[in-house]
Amino acid sequence: MTPRRSESKPAGGQPFAAPVNDPVRPSDALTLEQLLAMYERMKLIRAFEEAVVQLYVAGEVRGSFHPSIGQEATAVGGCFALAPDDYMTCTYRGHNACIAKGIDVNAAMAEMLGKRAGVSKGKGGSMHWTEPAIGLLGENAIVGAGVPIAAGAALTAQLDRSGRVALAYFGDGAINQGMFLETLNLAQLWKLPLILVCENNLYAEMTPLDRSNPHQSIAERAAGFAMRAVTVDGNDVLAMYDAVAEARARALAGEGPTFIEALTYRYLGHMIGDPETYRTKEEVAEWKKRDPIARLRQHLFEKHGVSEGQFAAIDERVAQRVADAVAFAKQAALPTPDEVWDDVWA
């Protein structure tokens, strides 16, 4: 089973890995129902974050907010290839992965508004969603910090022989962190059931990748540890599904970790308020032509005959679900001052 790869070259990025001859891909076995579920989940992620942007501008979301709009396919393709109880860590831009993994959107929206009903009881805000029930070991505001945490979870799975794997999402800004490099070394030595997904959106905050990385490809960094490394089109949800499904199968077979460089792009700034002086409007427009949601919609229309009515029904469900989440979050209670030390000390 080989990841689906594209021959195209994205704006501002390097070519994807060359296509392979093997016609059998994990995504070929997906049913129409599963593909529609992927599409709906990507729509939900985008609608959720668009609603949060509006709430932020209205002053109802405090602190910082880092949208992942444009990166829905990396999350949905990856998470749909995992088992429900597989472990996962992600970044402060990880709302896409958390929702893809199955976090309750009402509780997620409540967390954005700092409410007690939030996934972290209103104490984590945008950057610290956590839900062990779905394997989510947390977003992390420290760049690269989720990688060793996921490795620890992978070691637990290996020692317990639980049949679980761990997946870590991180950005291209994490690849120069010492803990990232140390984790790759140890994970490969111990053959941990670990999947490392770099959402390479070409910018570490405001720093272009070519100013911080001497390699043409981030995947070359992992290959330096004798680790299997692939580069995929992160805006193709089926390519992501194939890459993670193959990596999971390798991990469970005792073949160790896999590094996946997913080339993608965020449409908005690093955070709300980012002046975006480091990139051009033309570059953003070029990447929007490769929108991951539009691409799956086209695939569903051309290959499976999904009708406009079916798409409209999905849009309606998503809009209602997000509206319900906003209403739930707004009416939920704030934590009280006496709760400040709850869940801090064992």
What confidence tens digit (pLDDT) does each residue in 294-326 have?
999 999 999 999 999 999 999 999 999 999 999
Report the DSSP beta bridge partners of residue 199: 171, 262
Query: Is the model's pLDDT at 8 over the cut of 60?
Result: no
Laid out side by side, the sheet with 194-200 consists of 136-140, 87-91, 166-171, 194-200, 258-263, 228-233
What pLDDT score does 223 carry?
87
Instruction: Name the CATH superfamily for 30-328.
Output: Thiamin diphosphate (ThDP)-binding fold, Pyr/PP domains (3.40.50.970)
Question: How far is Cα 168 from Cα 246, in angstroms, rounded to an integer?
Answer: 16
pLDDT per residue over 153-206, tens digit each?
A: 999 999 999 999 999 999 999 999 999 999 999 999 999 999 999 999 999 999
Mean pLDDT, residues 336-345: 89
User: Which amino acid is it at 72?
Assistant: E
pLDDT-derived band of residue 344, with 50, 70 and 90 as boundaries?
Answer: confident
User: Which is nearest to 56 in space by CA: 125, 147, 157?
Assistant: 125
Question: How far is Cα 17 from Cα 231, in angstroms, rounded to an integer?
Answer: 6
Q: Are 184 and 175 in contact, with CB atoms under 8 Å apart?
A: no
Query: Is the model's pLDDT at 10 over the cut of 60?
Result: no
What count of residues does the chain have? 346
In the chain, the percentage of residues whose pLDDT exceeds 90 is: 87
pLDDT per residue over 90-138, tens digit each?
A: 999 999 999 999 999 999 999 999 999 999 999 999 999 999 999 999 9
What pLDDT score does 345 carry?
85
Query: Is the model's pLDDT at 242 over the cut of 80?
Result: yes
- In this structure, are strands 207-208 and 203-204 parallel, antiparallel, or unpaired? antiparallel
Query: Is the model's pLDDT at 11 over the cut of 60?
Result: no
Q: Higher confidence at residue 9 or residue 168? A: 168
**Tally of CB atoms within 10 A around 310:** 15
What pLDDT score does 215 carry?
76
The rounded mean pLDDT for the chain is: 92
Mean pLDDT, residues 32-59: 98
pLDDT-derived band of residue 46, with 50, 70 and 90 as boundaries?
Answer: very high
pLDDT per residue over 197-226, tens digit each?
A: 999 999 999 999 888 888 778 999 898 899
User: CB-based contacts of 274: which residues, under 8 Å, 6+ apart?
Assistant: 206, 268
In this structure, what token pair is assigned to residue 119?
Answer: 């996934």
**DSSP state at residue 200:** E
> Could you give the 3-state DSSP secondary structure of residue 263?
strand
Mean pLDDT, residues 134-149: 96
What pLDDT score does 170 carry?
97
CA 26 and chain centroid, separation: 19
What pLDDT score does 9 carry?
37
Query: Is the model's pLDDT at 64 over the cut of 60?
Result: yes
Q: What is the DSSP string of 282-311?
A: HHHHHHHTT-HHHHHHHHHHHHH---HHHH
> Could you give the 3-state DSSP secondary structure of residue 224?
coil
pLDDT-derived band of residue 22, with 50, 70 and 90 as boundaries?
Answer: low
Contacts of 132-135 with C-beta under 8 Å, sequence gap 24+, read 134/84, 134/85, 134/101, 134/102, 134/103, 135/82, 135/84, 135/85, 135/86, 135/87, 135/88, 135/101, 135/164
pLDDT-derived band of residue 2, with 50, 70 and 90 as boundaries?
Answer: very low
Query: Is the model's pLDDT at 3 over the cut of 70?
Result: no
Q: Are 142 and 178 in contact, with CB atoms under 8 Å apart?
A: no
What pLDDT score does 313 carry?
98
Helical H segments across the chain, by residue range:
32-57, 72-80, 95-101, 105-112, 146-160, 178-190, 219-223, 237-252, 281-288, 292-304, 308-331
pLDDT per residue over 262-306, tens digit each?
A: 999 999 999 999 999 999 999 999 999 999 999 999 999 999 999
